[in-house]
Amino acid sequence: MGMGVVYVTSQNRKAGKTMVAMALASIASGQQSLVTILRIGATEHSSDDLETMLGQGKIRLSKVDTAEVSGVVNAVKEESSHSSLVVVDSSSDMSTSDHAEIVDETKAKVLLVSDFRDKDSSLPYAQKFEGNTIGILINCLTAYGRTEAVDKIIPSFQNCDVNVLGLIPEDRTLLSLTVGQISELLGGTFFTGSEYSDRLVENFMVGSFGMDPGEYTFSTKNKKAVIVRGDRPDVQMSALQTDMQCFILTRGMEPIEYVKYECEEEEVAAVIVDTDTIETMKAIGSLQRHARFDHPDKLDRAKKLLADATDVKIITG
């Protein structure tokens, strides 16, 4: 037997459990002989996404389709027999008592993940694991949330003997979507550059009249999508001078041939949507909730965020 089992769990969905589990396993695989990620039950992440994301590392990705306690316990024991570390990405569809039973039977250490917006509401959940808890990571810390976290939330956990291992800030990369995902969600079609559909878009900017000098406005944001009418080559050419991922061309208008040529030269995708610029911006406003942990760049970013937030060796043992 190696170093054991880390059971990653959260009281609420979308707290960042899979992100933490994947980042943890990925960091640990640099130090361990073999690390397994064991995913429990039906989850919103397909295994294909995760396979792609992990690349060819020393990480074994294993999945248990059951949410029965005995099935999970057996799978954990089986994986432990040939891994130095098993990171369990637990199911959100199990009762607290089921989680606790699995942890007891596998002698796992529990790593809790909560969303900053949930304050200390997962304290009773954390206490259900009694002495088996390593601690809790508070994810999605907002830009102005640190004071509240340090003055109120952390003491609340610490006073009840739940160790707060770190604060992970909200992050643009993790909340971003790819060019292809954006195109699909907006009902768009690729005019050019569909081969760049896997690139992440972290910012959106509107190209409009009165842009003078245009480049100055555009150059303030990287990894951006520029939303502009198809018939504004002046704005399009200005945007192409800067670091961008794609155009979202509104009103179903194709750009002129020269802009298409420049897009190809600069390796920038162009997606055409039927909506006008204002409707398109409204639709973009609700895209973020579709963001998933599904991209190699997100894993790289998550590893950095986790390593910055806490001493990973405390978790892995």
Instruction: Provide the token pair at 37.
Output: 């990620």
Secondary structure class of 253 (helix, strand, coil)? coil
Amino acid code (one letter) for 208: S
What DSSP letter does each residue of 30-91 carry, written as one string?
TTSS-EEEEEES--SS-HHHHHHHHTTSSEEEEEE----HHHHHHHHHHHHTT-SEEEEE--
How far is the CA of 10 from the CAs of 14, 155, 231, 261, in angstroms?
9, 19, 49, 49
Residue pLDDT, tens place only, 112-149: 999 999 999 999 999 999 889 999 999 999 999 999 99
Query: Global pTM?
Result: 0.90
In sequence order, what are the beta bridge partners of 136? 112, 164
Going along the chain from its start, the domains and CATH numbers come out as 4-171+293-316 (3.40.50.300), 177-290 (3.40.1390.20)
Residue pLDDT, tens place only, 142-182: 999 999 999 999 999 999 999 999 999 999 999 999 999 99
Secondary structure class of 120 (helix, strand, coil)? coil
Residue whose token pair is 């009418």: 229
Residue pLDDT, tens place only, 20-64: 999 999 999 887 678 999 999 866 666 667 777 776 667 888 999
- Other Cβ atoms closer than 10 A to 210: 6
CA distance 288 to 159: 35
Please give the pLDDT value at position 46: 64
Closest CA to 137 of 178, 167, 102, 109: 167
Please give the pLDDT value at position 45: 62
Mean pLDDT comparison of 45-59, 82-96, 175-189, 220-234, highest-scoring range: 175-189
How far is the CA of 22 from the CAs of 50, 124, 205, 294, in angstroms?
9, 25, 31, 11
Count Cβ atoms within 10 A of the Cβ of residue 60 and give its class: 0-12 exposed, 13-18 middle, 19 or more buried: middle
Residues 6 or more apart whose CB falls under 8 angstroms from that of 101 comprise 69, 73
Dihedral of the alpha carbons of 77, 19, 22, 45, in degrees to the nearest 10: 80
